[in-house]
Amino acid sequence: MLVIRLFCNQGMSTSLLVNKMRDAAAKQGIEVDIAAYPANELADRLDGVDCALLGPQVGYMKGKMGEICAAENVPMDVIPMVDYGMCNGEKVLEFAKNLAGK
Active site residues: 8
Which DSSP symbol is given to 41? G
Rounded Cα distance, 8 and 31, in Å? 23
Task: Report H helices in the chain.
Answer: 15-28, 62-71, 81-85, 89-100
| Identity of residue 96 | A
